């Protein structure tokens, strides 16, 4: 018996050693987060198992592409190497005060959500009622998990994580979901919260959701149906759309790939890699080669007949994910760099512009991104429409510029980021509008500052500041894109004046949107008095806007750009750990 017991102990020790070595490899390789210092077990499986659903159009095993097995390559360093003096400046009492102010705003908003809308998707901040807009699974709760963790609100995180681990994806207030929104908010939120905390139940819940969303690819041509009708998905009756936004189809890869990395199941990576190959195949065949039209025909095999092009709404994150996928895969797939570089070169040539200023105004060295209509036969018309959504482009250009050693793109990224910062300061409220028209410089030097001719007048009058011609949409919806780019540019360049830009933005937003218990979207940024609260606080207020404000005033090593890549909902996903160069 003693010999048998010794043998069993030896076997248990061998198994334990094997598991320990395996986990050490995974943690060291950056595929799993470090083990948490605490654990709670509250995971409860959903009542419907999507892995048991018969597939109507199964993808053959031979067509499932495995995750790349090459070791990650050495990637250039992204973050500025802050000196001891710069770190002291970044950590002084002023920055700590600002960080505390942002955290206080987050605690107010979270407390109101927790009291009046717990478990629902959003809080209506004026009436203090709940509303379900994304399936009724608690979008604000799941979207905010990593914000709570990053801001040190660990008690609130634990409460929210326990709720998230017990979500039943079968219990929903909606019969139809957006694949895009569910992916970036729920799947991205769960994966980031797991990457930060190591709480296993969050990964299990993410895998359940991933298996559900995987059903969107059970279509005749295996391209995804963004209109995820739950009953039809169960029956294998989904079809891809003839008019689908490029953002909807191009903004799945980060989350699906990270899920494959964490679970070892390559099917998630494989279906989005096929989309990558379609983007790659069609990039030079559109009416504006290098860019894809806003809408694609997925039902008939990824056709690109459209004539409208933008980096803004309905296209934005399809471009954002090109450089970020290069990072997440450790630089082993050259397609992402090629597509990113082509797209940015075309955007610089056709979409970006410098705005006009009067002689009496400071002609700031700033840029904006507009829209283009192209007929494929040489007629390319710029529409100088500026969207708040498009303010992410500064961060995108700068990140790609560092990653692919393109210093000119870092400079362009800074001009774009500062352009949106300027647009904030130009309004009476200090907050940028949702959509506006500007007067653009023209000709071959469109990216250089220019001025109005002596007697030149704006088409719709001079009542708006600087190059603004018309405010097409006066609202501010608590959006994050402008502070996102300011944050990324600060982390990349170390220029401390960006901290002042960020603080002025935050103070203006707080003054314009604050309610008794939280913050609300507003109807008019161009007024000196009442801004008109809309009674809306989307989940990205906590998930993105306040997170970026908090991080810019924090220790630069908190969620380093060399260790994490942010999805389009600002959820930090842990990168593999190749050595970083000094570029």
Q: Which of 510, 490, 354 is nearest to 424 (CA)?
A: 510
List, in order of start, the domains of the chain with CATH numbers: 61-574 (1.50.10.10)
**What is the reported pLDDT for 128?**
98
**What is the reported pLDDT for 579?**
66
533-545 burial code (b ≥16 CB/10 A, e <16): bbebbbbbbbbbb
434 a catalytic residue: yes
Distance separating alpha carbons of residues 136 and 23, to the nearest angstrom? 36
Catalytic residue among 316, 320, 327, 409: 316
Catalytic residue among 241, 409, 434, 562: 434
Distance separating alpha carbons of residues 273 and 275, to the nearest angstrom? 5
Catalytic residue among 122, 165, 181, 199: 181
Determine the straight-line distance between the first and last CA of the chain, rounded to whole angstroms. 63
316 a catalytic residue: yes
3-class SS of residue 335: helix
Q: What are phi and psi of 285, to 5 degrees?
A: -110, 5
Q: Which of 275, 48, 59, 322 is nearest to 171 (CA)?
A: 48
Angle of helix 200-214 relative to helix 253-263, nearest 10 degrees, comes to 120
193-224 burial code (b ≥16 CB/10 A, e <16): bbbbbbbbbbbbbbbbbbbbbbbbbbbeebbb
CB 174 within 8 A of CB 211: no
- CA separation, residue 369 to residues 63, 85, 99, 441, 467 (Å): 39, 35, 30, 12, 14
Strands 356-357 and 450-451: what pairing? parallel
Centre a 10 Å sphere on the Cβ of residue 335 and count the other Cβ atoms it contains.
17
Q: Which of 253, 134, 249 is nearest to 191 (CA)?
A: 253
181 a catalytic residue: yes
Catalytic residue among 278, 481, 544, 562: 481
Q: Which long-range contacts (CB under 8 A, 24 or more apart) does 30-34 make?
A: 30/574, 30/575, 30/576, 30/577, 31/261, 31/262, 31/574, 31/576, 32/198, 32/262, 33/194, 33/195, 33/196, 33/197, 33/198, 33/574, 34/198
CB 417 within 8 A of CB 394: yes
- CA separation, residue 431 to residues 85, 113, 158, 425 (Å): 32, 24, 34, 7
- Report CA torsion sign: 230, 232, 237, 241: negative
**346 known ligand binder:** no
Centre a 10 Å sphere on the Cβ of residue 364 and count the other Cβ atoms it contains.
18
**What is the reported pLDDT for 15?**
36
Distance separating alpha carbons of residues 73 and 286, to the nearest angstrom? 32
61-92 burial code (b ≥16 CB/10 A, e <16): eeebeebeeeebeebebbbbebeeeeeeebbe
Distance separating alpha carbons of residues 555 and 98, to the nearest angstrom? 12
CB 432 within 8 A of CB 424: yes
Q: Which tens digit of pLDDT belongs to each residue from 322-345?
A: 999 999 999 999 999 999 999 999
CB 502 within 8 A of CB 488: no
**What is the reported pLDDT for 2?**
37
**What is the reported pLDDT for 280?**
98
Q: Which residues of the chain have pLDDT under 70?
A: 1-41, 360, 362-363, 461, 578-579, 582-583
């Amino acid at each position: 018996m003693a010999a048998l017991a010794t043998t069993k102990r030896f076997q248990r020790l061998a198994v334990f050693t094997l598991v320990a070595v395996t986990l050490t490899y995974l943690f060291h390789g950056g595929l799993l987060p470090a083990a948490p210092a605490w654990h709670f077990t509250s995971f409860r499986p959903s009542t419907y198992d999507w892995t048991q659903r018969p597939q109507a159009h199964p993808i053959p095993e031979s067509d499932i592409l495995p995750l790349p097995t090459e070791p990650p390559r050495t990637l250039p360093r992204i973050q500025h190497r802050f000196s001891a003096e710069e770190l002291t400046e970044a950590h002084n009492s002023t920055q700590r005060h600002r960080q505390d102010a942002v955290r206080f705003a987050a605690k107010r908003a979270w407390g109101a959500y927790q009291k009046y809308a717990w478990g629902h998707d959003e809080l209506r901040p004026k009436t203090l009622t709940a509303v379900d807009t994304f399936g009724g699974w608690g979008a604000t709760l799941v979207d905010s998990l990593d914000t709570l963790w990053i801001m040190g609100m660990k008690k609130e995180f634990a409460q929210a994580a326990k709720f998230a681990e017990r979500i039943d994806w079968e219990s929903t207030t909606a019969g139809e979901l957006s694949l895009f929104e569910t992916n970036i908010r729920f799947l991205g939120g769960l994966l980031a919260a797991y990457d930060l905390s190591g709480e296993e139940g969050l990964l299990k819940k993410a895998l359940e959701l991933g298996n559900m969303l995987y059903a969107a690819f059970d279509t005749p041509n295996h391209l995804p149906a963004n209109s995820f009708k739950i009953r039809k998905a169960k029956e294998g009756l989904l079809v891809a759309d003839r008019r689908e936004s490029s953002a909807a189809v191009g903004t799945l890869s980060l989350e699906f790939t990270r899920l494959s990395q964490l679970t070892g199941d390559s099917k998630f990576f494989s279906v989005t890699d096929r989309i990558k190959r379609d983007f790659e195949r069609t990039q030079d065949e559109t009416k504006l080669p290098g860019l894809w039209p806003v809408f694609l025909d997925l039902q008939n095999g990824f056709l690109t007949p459209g004539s409208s092009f933008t980096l803004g709404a309905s296209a934005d994150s399809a471009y954002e994910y090109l450089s970020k996928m290069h990072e997440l895969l450790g630089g082993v797939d050259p397609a992402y760099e090629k597509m990113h570089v082509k797209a940015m070169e075309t955007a610089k040539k056709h979409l970006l512009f410098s705005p006009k200023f009067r002689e009496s105004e400071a002609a700031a060295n700033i840029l904006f991104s507009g829209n283009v209509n192209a007929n494929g036969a040489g007629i390319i018309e710029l529409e100088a429409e500026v969207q708040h959504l498009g303010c992410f482009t500064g961060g995108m250009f700068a990140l790609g510029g560092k990653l692919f050693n393109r210093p000119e793109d870092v400079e362009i990224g800074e001009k774009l980021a500062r352009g949106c910062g300027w647009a904030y300061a130009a309004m009476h409220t200090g907050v940028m509008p949702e959509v506006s028209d500007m007067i653009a410089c023209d000709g071959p030097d469109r990216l250089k500052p220019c001025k109005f001719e002596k007697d030149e007048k704006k088409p719709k009058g001079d009542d708006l500041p600087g190059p603004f011609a018309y405010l097409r949409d006066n609202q501010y919806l608590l959006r994050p894109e402008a502070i996102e780019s300011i944050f990324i540019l600060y982390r990349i360049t170390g220029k401390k004046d960006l901290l002042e830009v960020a603080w002025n933005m935050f103070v203006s937003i707080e003054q314009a949107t604050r309610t008794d218990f939280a913050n609300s979207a507003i109807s008019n940024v161009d007024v000196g008095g009442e801004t008109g609260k809309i009674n809306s606080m989307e989940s990205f207020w906590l998930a993105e806007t306040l997170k970026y404000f908090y991080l810019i005033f924090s220790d630069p090593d908190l969620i380093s750009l060399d260790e994490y890549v942010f999805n389009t909902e600002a959820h930090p996903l842990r990168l593999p750990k190749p050595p970083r160069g000094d570029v």
